[in-house]
Amino acid sequence: MEFLLFPKKTYYLTQGYGPLSYSHQGRYALDVSAAMGGSRAVYAPFTGYVARVYAQGADAYTIWLVSRDKVLCADNRAYYAVMQITHPVEIKDYKEGDEFKQGDFLMNDGSTGMATGEHIDIEIALYDRKEDIKANFYLTTYKTYGLINAVPPTKYLVLTNDTKVLNDVYDNVSYYIKKEKDVINMDYNIGRYKTLDNIRVRTGPGVSFPQKRVKALTLDGQKNATSRNPEDLAFYKKDTIFDALEIFIMPDEVWARTYSGFVNIIYKNEVNCEKI
């Protein structure tokens, strides 16, 4: 599974977002440039297609990219992604439906519109379902344009391990972005897993669901339980191999439905089971 990658090989932040930002108030946008020896080149953040292009007159040029499949984000979850990139040059020849692969060179930083210096403005939106995707903009209360359903990019974007971080601070606030090595790279799909510790077996996918008793497990589940007492609370013992029949992905959590009940695969960046 691809990561949702930051679209440059260098990260030099010139403006963040929030009430202290200059032109990003009411938006979740990052301005990044080629300052301090950075690169102007902009690369495809995922494999996907062009959903929309705006390149008219003196206005800021903008392009909307949509991922073909779900991509893995810094929160360890997978989503369909939309990336809106504003101010670049070299996009007039792109048209709706054009396809690209992750890592393809797309364009360079620009200064179209009212931009101050060559840079790009990045926003992202994420979706669980392909049919819900919206690749369009809206007018904010601060008279700037924002991506519909935009989310904080630093929470979801991922830097390649060799991306050079030249500056990630704006107005004394860090806009830290995780690198690939810091993200749990897991295809959240059904299959065989192994427990890395003793794991509770629950009646549903979440810590709010009660833990099962040993007697409620299948016969095979009882063989892999830490206790043989039927009235004891049920744990799969360490190194138990099980089939994940269904996967449930939540913020900071991944759960699997097994034949005997539900077990936690990931909880707040702690990995409890691994795919085999």
Q: What is the pLDDT of residues 23-45, one digit of tens each?
A: 777 789 899 998 888 889 999 99
- Please tell me what DSSP assigns to residue 203: S
Best-predicted range by mean pLDDT among 5-9, 107-111, 244-248? Answer: 5-9
* Topology (CATH level 3) of domain 10-182: Glucose Permease (Domain IIA) (2.70.70)
How far apart CA 126 and CA 261 sit, in angstroms, is: 30
What pLDDT is recorded for position 18? 72
Task: Report whether pLDDT(140) > 80.
Answer: no
Residues 235-250 have pLDDT tens digits of 999 999 999 998 888 7
Q: Percentage of residues in the chain with pLDDT exceeding 90?
A: 61
pLDDT band at 171 (very low <50, low <70, confident <90, very high): confident
Residues 6 or more apart whose Cβ sits within 8 Å of residue 179: 158, 159, 160, 161, 163
Task: Report whether pLDDT(3) > 80.
Answer: yes
- The architecture that CATH gives domain 191-275 is Roll (2.30)
Q: Which of 29-38, 63-72, 121-130, 169-178 has the lowest mean pLDDT?
A: 29-38
What pLDDT is recorded for position 186? 58
What pLDDT is recorded for position 127? 96
pLDDT band at 184 (very low <50, low <70, confident <90, very high): low
Q: How wide is the angle at C-alpha 176 spanned by C-alphas 158 and 139, nearest 5°?
A: 80
Instruction: Tell which wins on pLDDT, 209 or 187.
Output: 209
Beta bridge partners of 89: 108
What pLDDT is recorded for position 75? 84
Q: What's the rounded mean pLDDT across residues 38-56?
A: 93
CA-based nearest residue to 24, from 150, 176, 152, 146: 146
Please give the mean pLDDT across all residues of the chain: 90
Q: How wide is the angle at C-alpha 3 spanned by C-alphas 150 and 131, nearest 5°?
A: 50
- Does the fold of domain 191-275 match that of domain 10-182? no
Residues 6 or more apart whose Cβ sits within 8 Å of residue 187: 1, 275
What pLDDT is recorded for position 20? 66
**Radius of gyration over every alpha carbon of the chain, rounded to an integer in angstroms:** 22
Domain ranges in the chain? 10-182, 191-275
CA-based nearest residue to 178, from 158, 160, 156: 158
DSSP codes joined into one string, 30-87: EEEE-TTT---EEE-SSSEEEEEEE--TTSPPEEEEEESS-EE-TTS-EEEEEEEEES
